[in-house]
Amino acid sequence: MEHWRFTTAGESHGPGLVGIVEGVPAGVPLSRELIDEDLARRQKGYGRGGRMAIERDQVAIWGGVRHGRTLGSPVALTVTNRDYENWRESMSPDAGVPDRVVTRPRPGHADLVGGIKYGHRDLRNVLERASARETTMRVALGAVARAFLRSLGIEVYGHVVSIGDVHAPRRPWTLDEIRGSEESPVRVVDDSVAERMMRAIDEAKEAGDTLGGTFEVVAFGLPVGLGSYVQWHRRLEARLGAALLSIPAMKAVEVGTGFAQADEPGSAVHDAIWWEETQGFSRRSNRAGGLEGGITTGMPLTVRIGMKPLSTLMSPLGSFDIESKEPFLAAVERSDVTAVPPAVVIGEAMVLHVLADAMLEKFGGDSLNEVLSRVRTWHDTVREF
């Protein structure tokens, strides 16, 4: 991301999480309440574990905002880890001998390869940062992107498509329908499958197992022309794929109807072009998911993400101690049965970041009013093409 850049710091059981986002134009309406709303959404979902009973994530804004409007300078945020009180001695930054040393790597986690890469004999040094707790700050910073894009008439929301082998119907959902999934314990639009999903989660919990699934993120209100075909790294689906696969436990990304297109003839895959005088060019279908040639078409941008089952099992798999080289059952940290519903919000955040960067790449501008003026002019140009 060249125009909209963000970074995070902090460990899962450390004092808290820190984040800074650069490139935010001046004048964007932004409040703690908006950020806290997305943080609360990330903590919801049937199948969550004990950590969510401890944390009540709330943001503190340390820079870049004054009287509810961004200043054009970097926006700095922090979120406190309440659980740090139980880990103060173990996670202290001061000199000392750590307790709760981890020498038994867990299959599916970064423990072993991270320890080898960085030379850590205490694998807690790896798992604390590799933890999905880091995504809390991605969501907080993503809410800043949401505020910016919302000011431009763009909304990004997601919903669960499947948990385990229980699948919801897949069809184009409206923005209101997707937002309505917030009322579901498993964040699914179609209530008819919610009970089956929760039953599958209960069965996995009883078996000491975990479940993955898929979810969909949709962006409404995008203009034509974000992204580019002229270089590989500027294609928008490439940027979205990298961002979404950076989320822990994500293993696959598809745009539009994605993998299903490999089984169909071209006549059943591509979207016919339509033109009318009042609207200009458009499409009557959206199998491409709002992207052609790496560029937005003006249709809703639709991406689906596949999430593996969580790696920490209450009935753990086999492993070997890195010190004694003796076989053991893998160490067990507190874990969810499934995290697909909250992963939706993390996926939204990463899509928001990519789209904020793409909007600034296309339109530029140091203030919200400047960006808005350029976007309106562009919409007129597109209609007249």
Average pLDDT along the chain, 385 residues, taken 10 residues at a time: 95 97 98 97 82 77 98 98 92 88 92 97 96 96 98 98 95 95 96 95 91 97 97 97 97 95 91 89 93 97 96 81 89 77 98 98 98 97 91
Answer whether 244's CB lies under 8 Å from 304's CB: no
CA–CA dist 24, 65 (Å, integer): 10
> Which pLDDT belongs to residue 175?
97
> Which pLDDT belongs to residue 312?
77
> Which pLDDT belongs to residue 49?
64
Give the Å distances, CA to CA, from 73 to 24, 100, 124, 192, 252. Answer: 7, 40, 35, 47, 35
Indicate the SS3 state at residue 209: coil
> Which pTM value belongs to this model?
0.95
> Which pLDDT belongs to residue 181?
96
> Which pLDDT belongs to residue 53?
56
How many residues make up the chain in this entry? 385
Structure tokens at 129: 């940062």
Could you tell me which of 74, 64, 82 has the C-alpha nearest to residue 17?
A: 82
CA–CA dist 248, 146 (Å, integer): 21
The domain that holds 157 is classified in CATH as 3.60.150.10
Element (H, E) at 243: helix 236-245
CA–CA dist 385, 381 (Å, integer): 6
Nearest 5°: phi and psi at 198?
-65, -35
> Look-up: residue for tokens 């976007």?
375
> Look-up: residue for tokens 């080289």?
325
Burial code (b: 16+ CB inside 10 Å, e: under 16) for 288-324 equals bbbbbebbbbbbbbbbbbbbebbbbbbebeebeebee
> Which pLDDT belongs to residue 47?
79
> Which pLDDT belongs to residue 96?
85
- 89 - beta bridge partners? none
Structure tokens at 119: 């030379």
> Which pLDDT belongs to residue 331?
60
Q: Amino acid identity, residue 120?
A: H
CA–CA dist 205, 274 (Å, integer): 50
Domain region containing 282 = 5-383
Answer whether 306's CB lies under 8 Å from 252's CB: yes
Number of domains in the chain: 1
